[in-house]
Amino acid sequence: MRASRWLLLLVAALAGGSVVSLVMGGEGSGRGSASEMPGPTPGAPTSGQAEPVETRSVPGSPVGGDVPLAVRTTFERSEAGARSAAVAFLEVTEEAVALSPVEAADLQRTMATAGFGAEFAADTEQRMTELVQAVPGGITLRVAPIEARSIAAGEDWLVSIWYVQAITIADESVVDDWRTASYRMRWEDDTWKIASFESKRGPMPGRGTQPPSDTPTRFEALLSGYSDDGLN
């Protein structure tokens, strides 16, 4: 299998806030309680019945040095807050792939509930180790959320995010991957955390007839100075 195709599977699992889609669970496999990702719980509150708003900064400090963490923000205890937290956890994948396997695992553990943290961290460390072995020079990852859906499930929220990620593999290629990441968001320790996670490929738009726009080197050069800061 070409490295680029293998990396799509690996990075997908990472994207779930745990380096999410790549590796965390692999293609279409869920993490956490097996029955936690379907539809709403009968009698669950609708979006208009969210609990009173409470806010708190998500805990977390730079792991292993001055590493900026996109998850450092404040979320309301509401449907909107759960959606914002899920998007933030997804986007932190861009930074997580630059960490060591242990650092990435520690970061993912802080984003998960007490009951899911150990599993989430262990899987992240394994997948990151595989990534480092396959691509010692690392990759550059850009994650772009497109649309999100949230469904009440008791006091939790099931948040699914449709997104695309661009992966630059130095000296080889730049590839895109369209995926849907699904989180069970649970209010724990005064903030939203991941209680379970699942990532699946697609839906993916049809391809055009144009070849890739540039080599990896020129692709990165064209995007020099760009950032997604402030776009959320």
**Measured distance CA(181)–CA(176) in Å, rounded:** 15
d(CA 182, CA 13): 11
Q: What is the DSSP letter of 114?
A: T
Task: Please tell me which residue, 231 or 61, carries the higher pLDDT value.
Answer: 231
Main-chain dihedrals φ then ψ at residue 158, nearest 5 degrees: -95, 110
The DSSP letter of residue 108 is H
**How much is the mean pLDDT over the chain?**
75
Closest listed residue to residue 120, CA positions, set 34, 27, 19, 7: 19
CB 139 within 8 A of CB 170: yes
pLDDT at 222: 82
Using one digit for the tens of pLDDT, what is the confidence trace for 109-148? 999 999 999 999 999 999 999 999 988 888 999 999 999 9
Task: Report whether the peptide linkage leading into residue 203 is cis, meaning its omega lies within 30 degrees of zero.
Answer: yes
Q: How far is residue 214's CA from residue 125's CA, in Å, rounded to a whole number?
A: 32
CB 160 within 8 A of CB 179: no
Rounded to whole angstroms, the Cα distance separating 131 from 191 reads 30
Mean pLDDT to the nearest integer, 192-221? 86
Could you tell me the residue ranges of all domains in the chain? 3-26+70-204+212-222
DSSP string, 179-213: EEEEEEEEEETTEEEEEEEEEEE---PPP-SPPPS
Return the closest-CA partner of residue 95 out of 71, 60, 119: 71
Enter the CATH code of domain 3-26+70-204+212-222: 3.10.450.50
User: Mean pLDDT, to the nearest integer, of 90-116?
Assistant: 93
What's the token pair of residue 176?
């895109």
The single-letter DSSP state of residue 21 is B
- Calpha distance 11→140 (Å, rounded): 11
The pTM (predicted TM-score) of the whole model is 0.74
First vs last Cα of the chain: how many Å apart?
36
β-pairing, 30-32 vs 55-57, is unpaired
- Local confidence band at 70 (pLDDT 50, 70, 90 cut-offs): very low
